[in-house]
Structure 1
Amino acid sequence: MSSSRCAGTIVAQLCAQGVTDAVLASGSRSAPLALALASAEAEGRLRLHVRFDERSAGFLALGLAKASGRPVPVLTTSGTAVGNLLPAVMEAHHSGVPLLVISADRPAALVGVGANQTTDQARLFQPFVRWSARVSSMASETSWAAQTARACVLAAGVGSCNPGPAHLNVELDQPLVGGEVALPELAAVVRESSGGSVAAPLVAGPRTVVVCGDAPVAVGRQAAQVARSGGFPLVAEPSSNARDEALRTGSLLLGSALAAEVQRVVVFGHPTLSRSVNRLLARDDVEIIVVSAAPEWPDAGWRATRVVSALVAAEPDDSGWLRRWQAADALLSARVDELVAGQPVLTGPAVAAAVVASVGSGVLMLGNSQPIRDADLATASSVTPDCSHSGGGSLIQDAEVLPGTGARVFANRGLAGIDGTVSTAVGVALASGEPVTLLCGDLTFLHDANGLAAGLGERRPDLRIVVADDSGGSIFATLEYGDVRYADSFERVFGTPPGVDPVRLAEAHGIPVRRVEDEASLTAALHRPIQGLDVVVATIDRAGRRALNAQLNALANLVD
């Protein structure tokens, strides 16, 4: 009876978000939503207005939204019923009115195969809506409320000052009715306005971790400031620009017993790198607060309940909370170093550590796939902890080492692909006017080899490209597909050894290049000044990559 539960959750979340009026044009596929709206009206949660003409229903909802200033949903069944809402949606778009279209639909698998009353209605209102989403009764239940809340917030223009229509296309599977239960009591997702310069406070109390994903320098600094002033552990991705004050082994520690004690997470940037972070953000026993000045916000776990544009951390209640994480990080860091140093051949983590150390306070670009994950365990040097902060008492005085490079770090983490990495690094170098180091894998390098070429008379960057050459895609060995049961197919369909020598390719472009096969040679190559474009190819062995990754993850189990 997932369709009934889905419909009830959607309507309950509408009420939680402050919806007071809803308009219904009846139909069959929309039956679960119609019954849920009727129940909501019977319980006094909203007023329901029923019309038989969808075009009229759309403009009725428009008028209600225009006069109230609140999002007003208009609900229809599938097919041409949805198309009749287009004039009202267009008017709402150009008038800035928070109209919310909720269209019932069949499951996506039935669209385009001749099923009754189906069409491609999920994209019907582009480009007139502020946001649209497909909601499936067969998806995770947490997504139903989260998508509904997001639609209300974005339609209202909170955080964007740009109200307008939004669209939820709700795919409902059979049985449509039966098993109805009381509408749940849900909490609103609060999006605090980005207007003004006063940051929102963070109430002291819950044991908190700050997570910073891919982010520009300003956002990374804000994440570090909140962690510092609140006495919170900071788990930051390599391209977060917050690594100076972050736990070096944060992603590994989130697989330890310490993670079970986390009660609240404050999220900055766009976290995409670590499965342990994703698991934390999806937990139903953790409060998720997202800091984002953009109209939309990251919430892949569907658990965020508060979204703010800026945040000031309160003085911590438990000064020992951070010290426990720092002590565990120091212990785990030593074990990581010991494990990596004990490998008989040059490894990805060793290459990443050498590259990060060589950059210092310069500019670093990280390729996706395995190299950026190897850089996630890298630390450049020990730095003196800064024990000053905006709160009271010393928060990090017991820390011996804080990892970090002070570097500005870039990566294409928007969609986390390997496309155009070399060209992006060239652009970073030309725009910054500083020497840049790029760390990438051999497939990433080959994929954008044309980025090495530029016409006569074009500006040349000061860029060093370090290619971690493992003759293929080592990241797949660390995932499910690297299991022995897929061994017969692994090399061809996942490992994909290219059979191309990156050294020869660089030479063909007339670029200085050298191959290194041990840490000493790599360190020597990296300490040469960066003048113009050059390439360093580090030979690494991916045969033991899966085992090494398992050993690294197992180290977290040794932390109390």
Structure 2
Amino acid sequence: MSGRAAEPSATSAAIGAARALVAELRMQGVRDVVLAPGSRSAPLAYALAQAADAGELTLHVRVDERAAGFLALGLARGTALPAHLWGAARPVAVVTTSGTAVANLHPAVLEAHHTGVPLLLLTADRPHELRGTGASQTTDHVGIFGTAVRFAADVPAPDGRDGEVRDLLATAGRALAAALGLRDRNPGPVHLNLAYREPLHPTGPALPGVELSGAASASAPPGTDITTSAAGVSGAGRAPARRDPDKPGDPDKPGDPDRPGGSDGAAQEVGPGSDGFRRAVVVPPAPGPGSDPALYGDPARTLVVAGDGAGPAARALAEAQGWPLLAEPSSGACGGPNAVRAYRSLLGVAELSGEVEHVVVLGRPTLSRPVQRLLARPDVVVTVVAPGGAPWPDAARNAERVVDALHERWFTPAPGERTFLDRWLAASQAAADVVVAATAPGASPDVDDAAARPAARFDAEPFAALAVARAVAAATGPDDVLVVGSSSPVRDLDLVLGLDGEPGIVLANRGLAGIDGTVSTAYGVALAAARQGRRTRALMGDLTFLHDVGGLLRGPLEPAADLQLVVVNDDGGSIFATLEHGELAAASEAGSRTFERIFGTPHGVDLGPLCAGYGVAHRLVGDVDGLREALAAPASGTEVVEVRVPRRDRLVEARALHQAIVAAARVAPAAAQGAPAN
């Protein structure tokens, strides 16, 4: 088909601008785009379809904008594997039409905001003259995401003005730089609100095969030489211009295929380029040598707390300095010789926690009240390591020092007194033995009587949910990915992770710790992880699954992922039983009825037919052998593995396990006091 320009019109201006934008995003490192269909976003949809058909990017279409947002979040997070590093992800774009479609992105935007994930929000809008007139599906998109975005621009509808495409691409470049945190090391979501005038479809022959230069020329005024204008960006109808691999910003540069601009993070092209458009080179701040703070008191009595996204530096620090490591599952720092098991209970042992003088916090700890109480103690000095320009985590407002990074000497092995560490590790081993006994098939609810009876079904087994988490963790290899839902599953995983071998890569939406979007996030992670040869599983509760069951909806034309979703179904919300609400429920029959309605929220949903409606395989397992068999099966498409467990005794079991751990730990440190230092 000829690349000859169509006659100038509003349609060709919109289509040309959309194609130029898509080509620029591809050139700047965007490889995945999620599209929620709509009429006002049609120019972008056509341009994306053309680019996808040419193999220049991967397009994912979803009918639910909330699911689309979390799918994009998962795709972006999956590009940063295996490291849990702030700012390591590749940006992913998500496209919506106008109106409520935009608002439905907000939950994913907030999660991306609090976890530093680069999302590019491309929302289509009516032109300015139609806003505030009562036009259909029109509301005020400007500022809709508030302070949750790093950059926002309201882009006027293209009308063929000289230089308008150049302006659009420059704005897109600023947005991508902000999304990646190139200036302030604070990556996150950005918003481009793109106005388009009708008609919104191509006016010429069928779209595929039209070269961008011809299509975009309609948005340039008569007489413009498009080979030297911004509209001449290599683009959607042909292979992008090959750039010098030695220049920063080349997406084809070897060494770091999942990072725009190569390992230095400079995502913007050197200009002027071969397409005639001058791109700014945004140079990230050079990393400094790191801080070297003096420690208060006895430096040996230090704990390392690794919250969500801490990365491997937390583990390296603990092992180099000989400090106990308290790592949340999604910290990226789990495992190793200094990891402390069941630390939430061990922090309740005064003989251990009372000796702590200093805590180094990396990442954002959100999982545990005992950890927050530790960080709030006036007798404990808290050092927070918080890279980038984001607010540092200090919910207790008790941090003594906040540093961007620690000096490299802190990661050099340092011989020192090990008595404090040995006490914590002895208590950790005692706690691990208790958890192992509790999750053994046939364990007694009294914990101390392990393997007291033959293996029973999960729906009658004490500590069943904990046993499920242990089986899933054991089946997840060190190079595999496990996406874990909020509420009880992530806390169960916290107790069992590492009991049966080196932990896998664990991801969780801990930015706001909500249950929404977990299925869609897991699907996005699975798509990205598969490109690295990694298998992905997800572990979540029944309410988390039902809240985002629409994430299972994938059309037959869309990229498929191998994803196993393990759903722990206790017919409601068990975590509330372990909080103060559970104590009130246990006090009276009336309290129990009230609890069940407003917190327990039983649903009675049969997940099998529900999955069948989405065309997703479903397997119901009743005991640990059946679960292990399901987990060992080869990955094949999307599968839901349902495990039904009781909810009624969750509070009793939690108390019994905590008490058993504390009792075992109080004996273990005394035995370890005579351990030789090394």
TM value normalised by structure 2? 0.50
1:264/1:286 contact within 8 Å kept:
yes
- Alpha-carbon distance in 1 for matches of 2:425, 2:333: 16
Correspondence 1:540 to 2:645:
yes
- SS in structure 2 opposite 1:321? helix
Paired position in structure 2 for 1:116? none
Deviation at 1:381, TM superposition (A): 5.1
- Alpha-carbon distance in 1 for matches of 2:555, 2:473: 31
- Alpha-carbon distance in 2 for matches of 1:497, 1:545: 15
1:429/1:436 contact within 8 Å kept:
yes
Correspondence 1:482 to 2:582:
yes
Deviation at 1:195, TM superposition (A): 5.7
Paired position in structure 1 for 2:522? 425
Q: Which of these residues, 487, 492, 496, is aligned with residue 378 of structure 1?
A: 496
Paired position in structure 1 for 2:40? none
- Alpha-carbon distance in 2 for matches of 1:266, 1:287: 9
Paired position in structure 1 for 2:160? none
Correspondence 1:414 to 2:414:
no
Deviation at 1:201, TM superposition (A): 2.5
- Alpha-carbon distance in 2 for matches of 1:544, 1:201: 49
Deviation at 1:161, TM superposition (A): 9.2
- Alpha-carbon distance in 2 for matches of 1:220, 1:501: 39
Q: Which runs of 5+ in 2 are unaligned?
A: 1-142, 151-182, 187-284, 445-455, 667-678
Matches within 5 A, 1:97-496: 160=184, 196-203=287-294, 205-206=298-299, 207-215=301-309, 219-245=310-336, 246-257=339-350, 258-295=352-389, 296-312=391-407, 313=410, 315=414, 317-341=416-440, 342-343=443-444, 345-346=460-461, 347-361=464-478, 362-380=480-498, 404-405=502-503, 407-433=504-530, 434-483=534-583, 484-485=586-587, 486-496=591-601
Matches within 5 A, 1:11-26: none
Deviation at 1:412, TM superposition (A): 0.4
User: Deviation string for 1:119-140 (max 9, x for gaps)?
Assistant: xxxx9xx87xx9xxxxxxxxxx
Deviation at 1:380, TM superposition (A): 4.3
1:212/1:269 contact within 8 Å kept:
yes
Deviation at 1:335, TM superposition (A): 1.3
- SS in structure 2 opposite 1:336? helix
1:213/1:268 contact within 8 Å kept:
yes
User: Deviation string for 1:128-174 (max 9, x for gaps)?
Assistant: xx9xxxxxxxxxxxxxxxxxxxxxxxxxxxx9599xxxxxxxxxxxx
1:438/1:464 contact within 8 Å kept:
yes
Correspondence 1:510 to 2:615:
yes
- Alpha-carbon distance in 2 for matches of 1:512, 1:240: 31
- Alpha-carbon distance in 2 for matches of 1:549, 1:322: 27
User: Deviation string for 1:78-120 (max 9, x for gaps)?
Assistant: xxxxxxxxxxxxxxxxxxxxxxxxxxxxxxxxxxxxxxxxxxx
How many matched pairs? Answer: 353
- Alpha-carbon distance in 2 for matches of 1:498, 1:252: 32
* Aligned amino acid, residue 350 of structure 1: A
* Higher strand residue share: 1
- Alpha-carbon distance in 1 for matches of 2:436, 2:616: 34
Paired position in structure 2 for 1:146? none
- Alpha-carbon distance in 2 for matches of 1:448, 1:499: 17
* Aligned amino acid, residue 475 of structure 2: S
Identity %: 45
Report the CA distance shift for 1:489/1:306 in structure 2 as closer, same or farther (over 3 A). Answer: same
User: Deviation string for 1:264-294 (max 9, x for gaps)?
Assistant: 0000111000111111011111000001112
Deviation at 1:222, TM superposition (A): 0.4
- Alpha-carbon distance in 1 for matches of 2:311, 2:416: 24
- Alpha-carbon distance in 1 for matches of 2:371, 2:491: 13
* Aligned amino acid, residue 432 of structure 1: A
1:435/1:531 contact within 8 Å kept:
no
User: Deviation string for 1:23-77 (max 9, x for gaps)?
Assistant: xxxxxxxxxxxxxxxxxxxxxxxxxxxxxxxxxxxxxxxxxxxxxxxxxxxxxxx
User: Deviation string for 1:355-374 (max 9, x for gaps)?
Assistant: 01111120110000000000
Deviation at 1:465, TM superposition (A): 0.1
* Aligned amino acid, residue 426 of structure 1: Y
- Alpha-carbon distance in 2 for matches of 1:349, 1:537: 15
- SS in structure 2 opposite 1:543? coil
Give the CA RMSD over aligned residues: 2.4
- Alpha-carbon distance in 2 for matches of 1:316, 1:301: 32
- SS in structure 2 opposite 1:244? coil
- Alpha-carbon distance in 1 for matches of 2:419, 2:649: 38
* Aligned amino acid, residue 313 of structure 2: Q
User: Deviation string for 1:291-316 (max 9, x for gaps)?
Assistant: 11122200001001211122243736
Deviation at 1:350, TM superposition (A): 0.3
- Alpha-carbon distance in 2 for matches of 1:211, 1:328: 17
2:430/2:661 contact within 8 Å kept:
no
- Alpha-carbon distance in 2 for matches of 1:285, 1:504: 56
- Alpha-carbon distance in 2 for matches of 1:242, 1:324: 21
The one of the two structures with greater contact order (alpha-carbon pairs below 8 A, sep at least 6) is 2
- Alpha-carbon distance in 2 for matches of 1:543, 1:530: 34
User: Deviation string for 1:7-28 (max 9, x for gaps)?
Assistant: xxxxxxxxxxxxxxxxxxxxxx
User: Deviation string for 1:481-529 (max 9, x for gaps)?
Assistant: 0111331311111100112112221122121111111111111111101
Paired position in structure 2 for 1:21? none
Deviation at 1:382, TM superposition (A): 5.3
Correspondence 1:526 to 2:631:
yes
2:439/2:470 contact within 8 Å kept:
no
